[in-house]
Amino acid sequence: MKNQAHPIIVVKRRKAKSHGAAHGSWKIAYADFMTAMMAFFLVMWLISIS
């Protein structure tokens, strides 16, 4: 039993890549900016009418 060579098993595990908020966060920032710009120009338009 001592003379038998056991093979060495190496298991390589890859880390799971997360494709979450990092790629889509610019859309939230852009939508927030566009909403603020729309509100600003709406207020400016209402001021110019009255």
Confidence of residue 22 (pLDDT cuts 50, 70, 90): low
Please report, for residues 13, 15, 23, 27, the alpha-carbon distance to residue 19 in angstroms, rounded to integers and kept in the order given. 19, 13, 7, 15
In this model, does residue 18 exceed pLDDT 60? yes
pLDDT at 21: 57
Distance between CA atoms of 37 and 29, rounded to whole angstroms?
Answer: 12
pLDDT at 36: 98
31 CB neighbour count, 10 Å cutoff = 10
pLDDT at 19: 63
Confidence of residue 20 (pLDDT cuts 50, 70, 90): low
Distance between CA atoms of 39 and 33, rounded to whole angstroms?
Answer: 10
